[in-house]
Structure 1
Amino acid sequence: MKTSLILTLIGPDRPGLVSAVSACAGAHGANWMESRLARLAGQFAGVVRLEVDAAAADGLERGLLGLGEEGLKLAVVRTDVAAAAQPHLARLELVGHDRPGIVRDISAVLARHGVSIDALETACESASMSGEPLFRARAELAVPAGVVLAAVRSDLEALANELMVDLEFEEMADSAG
């Protein structure tokens, strides 16, 4: 039987951090299933899902936590339950002048509709003409069965008008259901 270990990690960025984590995983027979890794303000941060035989999970977890000696702060969570397939996937893209609270406001609308954020990427960058800070966000969303996409879209568009941002919301073509 296989077990998934989800680990979060953060530490000062330097060459070899991914190599250290993947070497530990390989030494315990784990398979690197998926990850989100980034350098943020000089720190290396990430979330990784490893899959390993249940009998090897304890050793893998101890090995991963031992990487703390290399300056990584790690947390490990195990799960034996396969993730439930989501009936609908949607994508949200947003761009507008940066200001505090954009993520808070958008995520509140999504939560009110029971929509989960599967992946979120955000960035601030200078506008090409004015140089003013622009906020960009791209999210992949899991929409539960029974949620009316038109209602979610309507609430998001109303908020986009209030925030004065451009927003696109669409169902992804490869949605199940």
Structure 2
Amino acid sequence: MNASVVMTVLAADRPGLVAALSETIAAHGGSWQESRMAHLAGQFAGILRVECPASHVDGLLGDLATLESQGISVQARREEAASGPARETLSLDIVGNDRPGIIRALSAAIAGAGGNVEDLSTSLESAPMAGHPIFHAQGLVSLAADADPAALIAAIEQLGPDLSVSIDR
């Protein structure tokens, strides 16, 4: 029987980081299932999920911890999958003027409308012909199956008149 391990990885970016991580996983019969990786301000940041035989999880967790001696910080846990009530997943795209606290306000609006952030990518882009920073967020939000997506849109649009909100089912 296989078990899943979910982890976050942080290290000063350099060649060979992903190789060291994947070698450790493979040494325990692990299979890399999904991941998100990025170079942010000189750092490598990643989140990933692997599967390995349940009998190898403790060894994998121990060996991942030893990567700290190579400057690779790994936080890893066995996946505790919990099934809940049926939820609808919506695709979210938001563009607007950047300002301090926009993520805090956005996440509060989503939670207040009963939403759960499943995936979120944010960036700052240069406004066409103006050059000031424009906030851009794309992601997936889940709502209870009986919730009204219009309430989510309204909650986000109340954050300011400059926000353009698009939600697709």
Using structure 1 for the length normalisation, give the TM-score: 0.88
Match of 2:109 in 1: 109
Q: Which residue type is aligned with residue 30 of structure 1?
A: G
Bigger mean CA offset, 8-17 vs 85-94: 85-94
1:65 deviates by: 1.1
Q: Is the 8 A contact 2:153 2:165 kept in 1?
A: no
1:149 deviates by: 1.4
- Measured in 2, the distance between the counterparts of 1:22 and 1:64 equals 10
Runs of 4+ in 1 over 6 A off after TM superposition: none
Q: Which runs of 5+ in 2 are unaligned?
A: none
Match of 2:55 in 1: 55
Q: Which residue type is aligned with residue 156 of structure 1?
A: I
SS in 2 for 1:23: helix
1:147 deviates by: 1.6
SS in 2 for 1:99: coil
Q: Is the 8 A contact 1:160 1:167 kept in 2?
A: no
The 5 Å alignment of 1:35-46 reads 35-46=35-46
Q: Which residue type is aligned with residue 150 of structure 1?
A: A
| Identity %, equivalent residues | 38
The 5 Å alignment of 1:19-168 reads 19-81=19-81, 87-161=87-161, 164-168=162-166
Q: Which residue type is aligned with residue 101 of structure 2?
A: G
SS in 1 for 2:138: strand
Q: Which residue type is aligned with residue 108 of structure 1?
A: A
